[in-house]
Structure 1
């Protein structure tokens, strides 16, 4: 099983849901597409880690609701004791930053501004999520405590990303302001 499979099990261990419901819940923490999620759910159901039932809906297609089985819970608990691998970083901004010497300053600024806007949106999302966790549930022993610390991790990461963008933009803009036009040689 891959990490996304365990993530899907984790969300379904909290409460049953459709593939779409689980996709929406996992998105703030793990980027996954429908094309990845639905085959994994079907495979886990085939492996008896999940069960499902259909819910009829009026004016909408029927939806399939997944629930974790005891076997799925055991598998998820086993995963919790597996060694944690080093994180994998795949960020196109890093590759573009490596190549910024090949572009003009205005484009470099646009690239970094775009990422800064992304971090701003992430922070807004995480702060909204944080509002849904009552203060009294933000301590060890409450299930919501783990949501709280995970949301805080997202806030710290997005804040660090935003700080880096501001730092780079400051340098790019300062250097642009100090640029002296080069006069042609006569």
Structure 2
């Protein structure tokens, strides 16, 4: 099983849901598409980690609702005791920053401004979530306590990204060139 599979099990351990429901819930933490989620759900159901039933809907197609099984709970608990690997970093901004010497200052600023806007939206989203967490749910021992920790992690990450963008923009705006240096061929 891959990490996304465990993430899907984790959300379904909290409450049953359709593939679409789970996809929406996991998005703030893990970017995944329908094309990844639905085959994993089917595979986990085939492996008896999940069960499902169909729900009739008016004016919409019927939906398949998944629930975690006892085997799924055991598998999720086993995963919790496996060593945590180093995080995987895949960020196009890092690659573009590595290549910024090949572009002009205005384009470099546009690239960083785009990411700054993203971090502002993320920060606002996580702060909105945090505003809904009651003091009772911020106490150790509740499921919501761990939601609170994850929301705070999102706030810290978005704030750090925003701070970095502002720092880079300050440097770029002080630069006095607008054309990239000529590329030297080896």
Give 1:174 deviation, angstroms: 1.6
User: Which residue in 2 is equivalent to 1:40?
Assistant: 40
Tell me how far apart the structure 2 counterparts of residues 155 and 9 of structure 1 sit (CA, whole Å): 25
User: Which residue in 1 is equivalent to 2:134?
Assistant: 134
Give 1:175 deviation, angstroms: 1.8
Tell me how far apart the structure 2 counterparts of residues 175 and 13 of structure 1 sit (CA, whole Å): 52
Give 1:130 deviation, angstroms: 1.2
Residue 51 (1) aligns with residue 57 (2): no
Deviation per CA, 1:106-129: give whole Å up to 9, x if none. 000000000000001111111121
User: Which residue in 2 is equivalent to 1:184?
Assistant: none
User: Which residue in 2 is equivalent to 1:172?
Assistant: 172
Give 1:131 deviation, angstroms: 2.1
**What is the correspondence of 1:106-125 to structure 2 with a 5 Å cutoff?**
106-125=106-125
Give the secondary-structure state (helix, strand or coil) at the position aligned to 1:140. Answer: coil
User: Which residue in 2 is equivalent to 1:10?
Assistant: 10
CA RMSD of superposed structures (Å):
1.1
Residue 98 (1) aligns with residue 98 (2): yes
Deviation per CA, 1:53-87: give whole Å up to 9, x if none. 00000000100000000000000000000000000
Residue 68 (1) aligns with residue 68 (2): yes
Tell me how far apart the structure 2 counterparts of residues 129 and 16 of structure 1 sit (CA, whole Å): 21
User: Which residue in 1 is equivalent to 2:145?
Assistant: 145
Give 1:132 deviation, angstroms: 2.2
Tell me how far apart the structure 1 counterparts of residues 122 and 70 of structure 2 sit (CA, whole Å): 34
Give the secondary-structure state (helix, strand or coil) at the position aligned to 1:83. Answer: coil
* Farther off after superposition, 135-144 or 50-59: 135-144
Unaligned segments of structure 1, at least 5 residues:
181-186
Give the secondary-structure state (helix, strand or coil) at the position aligned to 1:58. Answer: coil
User: Which residue in 1 is equivalent to 2:86?
Assistant: 86
Q: TM-score, normalised by structure 1?
A: 0.94
